[in-house]
Structure 1
């Protein structure tokens, strides 16, 4: 196979180096007299290629961000032409796809096509895992695994909150979790409230659990439609016999020999006619028993093939670290231990644990199925970091101006912006005109502002663009955004702090 790679002047050396490294294909690079490859158009490229004889090539790959339909180039050159990747570093991925017989796109960057292909492959693997799973019982169409894969995710929502809040939270996480668990605080004893909130969730079609220290509330919850009851223990087992047809999570009150005590409760429950049981010897928080509790899980797993649950919220909630890595690691530990059901929370610093654990369970399920490490699977949780650090080659570093202090603005407009982040970015310009713009794309918001307000000077436009970029990043990772304040208070490279507080801009 022979391929022609089209690029511009600035990226030419890098693309030529990539071309040399390509395997099982012969690749040539054509450098057009245009500085930035991504700013070219298909019409420009077609015009430059129309006089060339290119019949020796099987494919032409143009930069992924070139505007227009690559079919125009194909019509001129008579050579199959596709859009390549957005980043030249990923050209090998596009070439590899062509070698495998995959068809790329005339209008979409190859990244999007390859991404869809990866997702399709992952979905097929996960469907196969679901079909082959070892299940103990089924509740309302939800099959509970004895062992992973697959996994099931239970999320506990604070039941003392307003019912509308509970419903909105359930809707927010519904794509990522299997069961909504209403967690009522210790000492709560309001049967009517329990009944009302469970019925509301059931009416919306959710599979529901109830977690309460009150036996009365657990019984009322079951009668109102709750599918899972948290928790069956050594003290309430006799009273909960009246609702034994429901599914229960067994969690001991004892803090000693948890595996043994959990198994004793399980055996007693089975003798009394309880059938749908999940065992939870309870995960302890870091520093106060995490390792020992993991050992108890291992002991219990060796004693029974009953389904097990791990409340990983006990760790993610009680360590001040970004939840994404903690959730991924705990999910992998659960997978090794043979624990297929996970209980999580999703609020404050653990917000979006639902997404993180959902993705982690897919990764670990595929890794368990393929007996591989949870890496290079086509799915990952690399949100804040990249797998590899790619260093740009910087020529003549000594010729760059080096800035080691904060530079205050020299010119200001007769107006200023307020930028806030909620469900989207909200920008308000206050000056001669008053303009309000909202959206998800910071760059587009900035462009619309410049359309509406004609006399914003370059220095102020630079500032607004900088703040909008921060706002968009904050929105994407669900982080607090405060105008004029650093988005990250800590980092691996420290930028000296401002020597004075900025005036409102």
Structure 2
């Protein structure tokens, strides 16, 4: 198969790189004298191709070009379709053509391929086909993944009104009370409040009386059934599901297995085993081996892994760890994950939700969790691309600003947006969620801001927008991230080129 790919000057290097890795198809790149491919029209492309004959089976246009690709087909005599919006996705379009997928002359190939690669549809089918161990309060607990269930642990000081952002990412909210806590009224009221907010609730407490009070108030899951409270919790054995986790820190796998067997004999019929994941450098690897042993021994019992024990206890970004721990859980046959959102693990609910979808598809299709159609690549790209320019001026020193006497700007990030407070002859505060628009609004309202000051404000607004989108702290004039690139190496490289 021979395919001609039309593009502009900016995307041409990317497409050339991508085309090198496409096998069994001859790909020719036709670069038109236009920088941004997506800003072309099909009429413009047709005009530029009409005098040329092409030895191709198909012509692919940029996915975002304006107009109907039939115009190009009419002047070239070659079947023409719109490709994807991203140059890196060219292999997916080639594969679709090989498989006889009918692409469109009016819509980007993303919409057509998306129908083939519909993640949500795949996940829906997994839910339908899943082996269910038990169901409680609408939550179906599977013996093995996929699918997964996500439990979010919160403490009794949590403001429940602020939980809305996690609602679609978790299945159960586990209300935890500290060791030594004993207030049955608080347990009852807070469990009822969470239930009234529409959450399926779990309760985690040291006191058996508090656990029982929580169940009677509406909690569906009990954390934990152990060797110390086993007998006291027998009276509610039919009223909730129980996470079985040992109190003893030694031989946790064996104790978990014995507790599960004993609980089944006593009539506890909704059980989830948890031999407890240890923190990094405190037995993490051994505990993972323990999970494998429990999984092999209790083949008909669902298992839960508290991945919060790792993400909370290492100072590293949680997103990659959550992805890896979810993959480990999937490989071990663990279908329930306990997480926490606090400080550096904020947004773990979204991260684990994405990770479970990715791992679910990979498990179901027996493939690596790569190129699935869903990922957790937030700060890094799969493929690195840089443009090469010969600079007329290279700046290797800090240029101090010229002060603007018309006023000064305070850039801020809040819970519901970010913006700028201008203090000068005119005082105005502008807030929104698009830094470019905020900056333009300021310039149009305060017309005497100096050019240098405008550049600075735009720079800080861009940082504020990134901080807002990533839920990071923002401090004006301070860097958002730690540096990875060694600037000294770049300086030496630039000197050699000069």
Normalising by structure 2, we get a TM-score of 0.86
The range that moved more, 485-494 or 355-364, is 485-494
Distance 1:97 1:407, change over 3 A: farther
Look up the match of 2:358: 363
1:252 aligns with 2:246: yes
Distance 1:73 1:440, change over 3 A: farther
1:152 aligns with 2:149: yes
1:343 aligns with 2:335: no
Shift of 1:259: 1.3
Distance 1:260 1:221, change over 3 A: same
| RMSD of Structure 2 on Structure 1 (CA) | 3.2
SS in structure 2 at match of 1:181: strand
SS in structure 2 at match of 1:299: helix
Distance 1:96 1:378 in 2: 15
Normalising by structure 1, we get a TM-score of 0.85
1:205 aligns with 2:198: yes
1:418 aligns with 2:422: no
SS in structure 2 at match of 1:325: helix
Distance 1:211 1:304 in 2: 24
Look up the match of 2:171: 178
Distance 1:323 1:476 in 2: 16
Distance 1:147 1:62, change over 3 A: closer
Distance 1:420 1:339 in 2: 43
Distance 1:12 1:183, change over 3 A: closer
Distance 1:182 1:96, change over 3 A: same
User: How is 1:109-128 mapped onto 2 (pairs within 5 angstroms)?
Assistant: 110=109, 112-113=110-111, 116-117=114-115, 120=118, 122-128=119-125
Distance 1:450 1:82 in 2: 43
1:188 aligns with 2:185: no
Native 8 Å contact 1:157 1:166 kept in 2: no
Q: Which runs of 5+ in 1 are unaligned?
A: 497-505
Distance 1:190 1:180 in 2: 20
Distance 1:213 1:119, change over 3 A: farther
Q: Deviations over 1:419-475 (max 9, x none)?
A: 222332222233333343333222233333333333333322322222222222222
Q: Deviations over 1:64-95 (max 9, x none)?
A: 455x4446956985987655444444444444
Look up the match of 1:317: 312
Distance 1:95 1:195 in 2: 59
Shift of 1:479: 1.4
Shift of 1:247: 0.8
Native 8 Å contact 1:50 1:76 kept in 2: no
Distance 1:31 1:382, change over 3 A: closer
Distance 2:405 2:74 in 1: 50
Native 8 Å contact 1:54 1:77 kept in 2: no
SS in structure 2 at match of 1:425: strand
User: How is 1:14-413 mapped onto 2 (pairs within 5 angstroms)?
Assistant: 31-40=31-40, 48=47, 61-66=60-65, 68-70=66-68, 83-100=82-99, 101-104=101-104, 106=106, 110=109, 112-113=110-111, 116-117=114-115, 120=118, 122-161=119-158, 165-169=159-163, 171-245=164-238, 246-305=240-299, 306-392=301-387, 394=388, 396=390, 399-410=391-402, 412=404
Q: Which runs of 5+ in 2 are unaligned?
A: 490-498
How many residues matched? 484
